[in-house]
Amino acid sequence: MEKISPLLARLVRRLTRLPGIGERSAQRIALHLLSQEDAETRELSRLLMEAREKIGFCEKCGFYAETLLCPICSDPKRAQGKLCVVEQPVEVLSLERSGIFRGLYHVLGGVISPLDGVHPGDLSIDRLLTRVEDEQVSEIILALSSSVEGETTSLYLGEQLDGRGVSVTRLARGLPAGSRLEYLDEATLSRAFEGRVKL
Ligand SMILES: [Zn+2]
């Protein structure tokens, strides 16, 4: 590695820190970046910086947004009153890819995990309860991971939502233990969604 240009070596090493990029892919990307037009590389670096600066989180649901509200919350065609609760923004991407859900989302920001120092107050649970009131929510679908922490969080949310006149369901059991939605293929995700059960 050190026989090649030190800068190229640094670039490759830096690229291997990206998720899913091994050394060979990193090398291929680095060489591609070097061989393309200046303008292309400049555009890429500008886009990276711009995305970093402008992409924040939706005030309402916590998904990625460039304005106060994300494109999903701003879309009048989405079914109002139906909320799908997920752990992280990436899971909204998985569900949107599957096309199974046409309502709105609520990103919790994680799951309750006392061992990791994550308590209910660290998650956007209060905001969820406020939304249930303000948006006249009639159905909540808990789409959390099938880990112990995910289960604990689902039960906790079930208790908090009890008596608020909202139907609470969760994804079908039988998902691989510990699996996060992010890693499920679309068919498995759709099955779990369609087979959802009352909490
Ligand atoms: Zn939103």
What's the DSSP call for residue 78? S
Please tell me the pTM assigned to this model. Answer: 0.84
Ligand 1 mean position to 36 CA, how many Å?
A: 37
Ligand 1 mean position to 15 CA, how many Å?
A: 31
Sequence-separated (6 or more) residues with CB below 8 Å from residue 61? 70, 72, 73, 92, 104, 105, 106, 107
Ligand 1 mean position to 57 CA, how many Å?
A: 8
Question: pLDDT tens digit string along 137-192?
Answer: 999 999 998 888 999 999 999 999 999 999 999 987 666 666 677 777 888 888 88
Ligand 1 mean position to 72 CA, how many Å?
A: 6
Provide the angle, in degrees to the nearest 10, between the axes of the packed helices 148-161 and 125-134. Answer: 40
Ligand 1 mean position to 58 CA, how many Å?
A: 5
